[in-house]
Chain A
């Protein structure tokens, strides 16, 4: 085997050799002439930038991802016309030959179907909210509903990956990793990017660690997934029979050994390692204090709902997200699974809504009453929308909806976003966007803007070119900014 490696190393073409030698020797010559570390401090690729580029509106983000794509037509995008036309065929003039998923492209008919759930107007803004979300309806004047989101992907995994990383293939850093890279951690005792998972009672779709990956960024920017069990961060407890003093002594001794090593070799990685040990030591105190939800007062428990004390529920994750965010975690990412209602919309969606409605609204109110909402950006939404026509059999009692990337609804609150407005519009069939479309890239650009970063300037050089979260597209959406 070693022979192959040697051969491989010798495998150089003449052109390659000459190119390397001429450039190489030239740069060696210049380099050896100059002071060795004259330029090394400007090595942007290995250092995170650490500060906003301009005054940020938001310092932290809590992203309540509704995985599986909740139907916009049953939640915030009220389309009475669909109720009138239920059972009638989707006009070709509306569909305009747009592609469908393999799940419904074979259907002979595309009967329109209206929402089974009633809508009402709420708040000063008079926004329409479905009866399944009575608590979110109460905070509607604090949120900004965007009805004109659109994406390029039509299936869960690429769409989800697109929403989270700005690319449909999963090899790019996620939004949280970019923010960690761009802004660093506010609280040095906790990771900058935390991930919390929960599972609802509807038809679910998977989430994978590629959604909170650091991609090509340094691995410190990766999202830290909290466990759904009682011990939210694993391997943080001291072993039985050992207490904090033992740990401290151990670290002190270790630090001395490391200091000797550092003196001898001068490798900065040694220092980095020592710092990581110290951070882990501090996390041993910081994390249990944070993740202990039982000390929350009764009125908070009531506000988030009784579920919030059960580890692994969406409500518990909302409460934990508030605590993490309050403690300076830059980006808290929640995923709530179970929103993929291809069939049984009537049966499943109320259960899903019930799981998230109360605690989501509680999170908004809780942040607000602590004076944190104006510096925390809360985002609620899925990866795409659902079709205005029925998938499968349309009956009086039940129906389903397929994936619809042309138009969907998300909402944001706090952190520099205009409260109490509805942005963008879809046609009366809820199929196409007719006003102020917001592409996923625009969404990313806007989020970075709110955090004080110019999406065109937050770059990282990888494989010979500079990458951005928005890659080569994206425009900030001024209409939703305060």
Chain B
């Protein structure tokens, strides 16, 4: 029965709300076709509520003939039927009313009365249901969203600690039983005056002594105790909340003491301030006396180069930021007339603001923060800003203002910071100003390091393999730097090095070393790189022994594809790697072999990853793979310690020859040296390209 009743109540409530809606928006509704059927049922359904209402009337008249329980049940059922049928009829009637051509005036009253009847039936049902329960919970539910929660603005300066920290706890956990209507134990907490009077047991606290306060005592009783507060089943106080209540009583249970009057180190104050800042958003609002402008005005002032926004949602104060120097128009500031009162924060940083425009800024009399950094002002008209009585912060960094020009501004009543870095004000003048105006924080320059610094290294522009006949191009990111270089593996300096002017022509792979120098700086440490230059390409390449399965590259073609490998990315198609067997590759130059005198092997040198130079390199020459003789054998110098990873070159000079076929053998390190963390293990040999000159 209970469930049915609540179901019926919910359905009828829904229809009531729908009805209310329809009542207000009747003229804006278009009825879908399938609902028109429901509308035409109205005259038929109409008889149901008439019948139920009549039955209800009779029932009440003859109630004496029933037993009490029986009567209650019957009454509830008939009330339910009445409410349901009335609201359904009203709804259907509404559907009908939008379809036909009825007299509008008559229709209005018919509609209204139908709806009212339906509301009455519904409220009767609800009322009866609650009379039976003896509580008015449902009313509270119905009315709850309508009751306006009057949010009070809190601030550290004007609000009491009780308001900020204590009252919200009581409101959440105690008010539901200790209010004007309920007043359990005759204690009313909702008003401060009545709370101070206490309940039937007296005042529930002893100022300064939480331990003998009744309120605290009840809170600490075990939950099972009948006197425990809040009672079992109600939301309990948290540890933090208990702490607040206790601290408040300990500090004298003062209702009137403002938060600001508590010492700054007081935990209670700290806690309350934090709580206020995090929970009570409105507390941090700044109060301005001027009115706000409409959203529309603000929107219209926004352009891609000028952002106009309120400081935050619902704030009447406005901030304006300008962007992109090229897009700035001199009359742009004039357009802000509509918000001249509301403008508190203006940034014109880097805009070409001329001296005469300060006259416009003068009108923004509520301006608190003004940023004129790197604008074109000369300072001649700075006096125009003297009317900005609310100005707190002024940035003039990067302009050509002088000490004389800014001096009067320091008398501005609200000014507390001034930024004059990178202006015509000298350091002595700034110190002087700071001394004369201790109230204003003058930021002049913070960077005082006069020590010499080292320049960065020059950079190589054309990375990768340089085309044969190409040139090595260097650059440096700092203007005014001279670059000195060598190509013979010796350290360059400003005397022996060649001054870099134009790109360095390169015929074959060279080792480049370069330094950058500039007056006032230490020369850079040397930049070292092996520049690989394209040589004579063989007609065909083959691998005579396979590369390791982990690093197969693209097979033999990787050796002449003119793609360099990156030293820190090993699994990549440029690299071929060998560990268990030698590197052995054959290069054939066809029927008209060119004359060669140098072979360069580009290899990876990354000792930490066990990637070492080979121990030996052999060059064989002949007519084809099976007719070869050893032309040259070199031992490669092995590293004696860890060194920075890099891609390096092994150059093997040979007597000028023109064989049709060359075989190159390189032997990986078989045992890593003792100083290496992998001593005794096999080393790797990584090769990406082979060049012939």
Question: Considering residues A454, A478, A479, which has the most beta carbons from chain B within 10 angstroms of its beta carbon?
Answer: A478
- Does A30 have its Cβ within 8 Å of any Cβ on chain B? yes
**A159 to B270, alpha carbons, bound, how many Å?**
31
- Does A186 have its Cβ within 8 Å of any Cβ on chain B? yes
The answer to whether B32 touches A449, judged by C-beta atoms less than 8 angstroms apart, is: no
For A194-236 the 0/1 string (1 means CB < 8 A from B) is 0000000000000000000000000000000000000000000
CB-CB under 8 A from A479, the residues of chain B are 270
Task: From the candidates A35, A278, A369, A475, name the one contacting B446 in the complex (CB within 8 A).
Answer: A369
Task: From the candidates B305, B321, B477, B524, name the one contacting A186 in the complex (CB within 8 A).
Answer: B321
The answer to whether B453 touches A305, judged by C-beta atoms less than 8 angstroms apart, is: yes
The answer to whether A189 touches B324, judged by C-beta atoms less than 8 angstroms apart, is: yes
- Does B307 have its Cβ within 8 Å of any Cβ on chain A? yes
**A302 to B454, alpha carbons, bound, how many Å?**
10
For B330-369 the 0/1 string (1 means CB < 8 A from A) is 0000000000000000000110000000000000000000
Nearest CB in chain B: distance from A233 CB, A:
16
Nearest CB in chain B: distance from A76 CB, A:
21
**A305 to B455, alpha carbons, bound, how many Å?**
9
CB-CB under 8 A from A251, the residues of chain B are none
The answer to whether A52 touches B521, judged by C-beta atoms less than 8 angstroms apart, is: no
The answer to whether B397 touches A371, judged by C-beta atoms less than 8 angstroms apart, is: yes
**A479 to B478, alpha carbons, bound, how many Å?**
44
**Interface 9-residue window, one of B245-253, B309-317, B466-474:** B309-317
The answer to whether B371 touches A29, judged by C-beta atoms less than 8 angstroms apart, is: no
The B-contacting residues of A in range 429-455, CB under 8 angstroms, are 445, 449, 452, 454
- Does A16 have its Cβ within 8 Å of any Cβ on chain B? no
Task: From the candidates A33, A187, A309, name the one contacting B323 in the complex (CB within 8 A).
Answer: A187
The answer to whether A34 touches B312, judged by C-beta atoms less than 8 angstroms apart, is: no
- Does B536 have its Cβ within 8 Å of any Cβ on chain A? no
Q: How many A-B residue pairs have C-beta atoms within 8 angstroms? Tell me.
A: 148
The B-contacting residues of A in range 401-423, CB under 8 angstroms, are none
- Does A158 have its Cβ within 8 Å of any Cβ on chain B? no
The answer to whether B443 touches A369, judged by C-beta atoms less than 8 angstroms apart, is: yes
The answer to whether B312 touches A307, judged by C-beta atoms less than 8 angstroms apart, is: no
- Count of B interface residues, CB-CB < 8 Å: 62
For B153-194 the 0/1 string (1 means CB < 8 A from A) is 000000000000000000000000000000000000000000
The answer to whether A449 touches B304, judged by C-beta atoms less than 8 angstroms apart, is: no
The B-contacting residues of A in range 297-312, CB under 8 angstroms, are 297, 299, 301-303, 305-307, 309-311
The A-contacting residues of B in range 254-283, CB under 8 angstroms, are 270, 273-274, 277-278, 281-282
The A-contacting residues of B in range 8-65, CB under 8 angstroms, are 18, 21-22, 25, 28-32, 35
**A386 to B29, alpha carbons, bound, how many Å?**
68
The B-contacting residues of A in range 334-374, CB under 8 angstroms, are 362, 365, 368-371, 374
Question: Considering residues B304, B417, B445, which has the most beta carbons from chain A within 10 angstroms of its beta carbon?
Answer: B304
- Does B421 have its Cβ within 8 Å of any Cβ on chain A? yes
The answer to whether A369 touches B421, judged by C-beta atoms less than 8 angstroms apart, is: yes
The answer to whether A306 touches B282, judged by C-beta atoms less than 8 angstroms apart, is: no
- Does A328 have its Cβ within 8 Å of any Cβ on chain B? yes
CB-CB under 8 A from B422, the residues of chain A are 297, 299, 369
Nearest CB in chain A: distance from B482 CB, A:
15
Given A54-B284, A54-B312, A188-B304, are A368 and B443 neighbors across the interface (CB < 8 Å)? Answer: yes
CB-CB under 8 A from A186, the residues of chain B are 307, 321
Task: From the candidates B28, B321, B324, B456, name the one contacting A285 in the complex (CB within 8 A).
Answer: B324
Measured CB to CB, the nearest residue on chain B to A188 is: B304
Nearest CB in chain B: distance from A54 CB, A:
5
Task: From the candidates B278, B282, B373, name the one contacting A370 in the complex (CB within 8 A).
Answer: B373
For B389-409 the 0/1 string (1 means CB < 8 A from A) is 000010101100000000000
The answer to whether A371 touches B395, judged by C-beta atoms less than 8 angstroms apart, is: yes
CB-CB under 8 A from B324, the residues of chain A are 189, 282, 285-286, 289
Given A55-B312, A370-B421, are A302 and B445 neighbors across the interface (CB < 8 Å)? Answer: no
- Does A327 have its Cβ within 8 Å of any Cβ on chain B? yes
The answer to whether B312 touches A52, judged by C-beta atoms less than 8 angstroms apart, is: yes
- Does B411 have its Cβ within 8 Å of any Cβ on chain A? no
CB-CB under 8 A from A51, the residues of chain B are 309-310, 312-313
Given A368-B446, A370-B373, are A478 and B278 neighbors across the interface (CB < 8 Å)? Answer: yes
Task: From the candidates B18, B270, B273, B312, name the one contacting A30 in the complex (CB within 8 A).
Answer: B18
**A376 to B520, alpha carbons, bound, how many Å?**
33
For A105-121 the 0/1 string (1 means CB < 8 A from B) is 00000000000000000
**A190 to B456, alpha carbons, bound, how many Å?**
30
CB-CB under 8 A from A139, the residues of chain B are 446
The A-contacting residues of B in range 417-460, CB under 8 angstroms, are 417, 419, 421-422, 443-447, 449, 453-456, 459
CB-CB under 8 A from A454, the residues of chain B are 278, 281
Nearest CB in chain A: distance from B36 CB, A:
12
Question: Considering residues A51, A299, A371, which has the most beta carbons from chain B within 10 angstroms of its beta carbon?
Answer: A371
For A178-190 the 0/1 string (1 means CB < 8 A from B) is 0000000011111
**A452 to B315, alpha carbons, bound, how many Å?**
12
**A362 to B448, alpha carbons, bound, how many Å?**
11
Task: From the candidates B25, B270, B281, B417, name the one contacting A35 in the complex (CB within 8 A).
Answer: B25
The answer to whether B270 touches A189, judged by C-beta atoms less than 8 angstroms apart, is: no
9 further contact pairs, Cβ within 8 A, besides A294-B478, A297-B422, A369-B444: A51-B312, A52-B312, A189-B305, A282-B304, A301-B478, A369-B419, A369-B445, A371-B419, A449-B277
Instruction: Give B residues with C-beta under 8 Å from A.
Output: 18, 21-22, 25, 28-32, 35, 270, 273-274, 277-278, 281-282, 284-286, 304-305, 307, 309-313, 315, 321, 323-326, 349-350, 371, 373, 393, 395, 397-398, 417, 419, 421-422, 443-447, 449, 453-456, 459, 477-479, 521, 524
Leading 9 A-B pairs by shortest Cβ distance: A478-B274, A371-B395, A369-B421, A309-B477, A365-B446, A52-B312, A371-B419, A476-B278, A187-B323
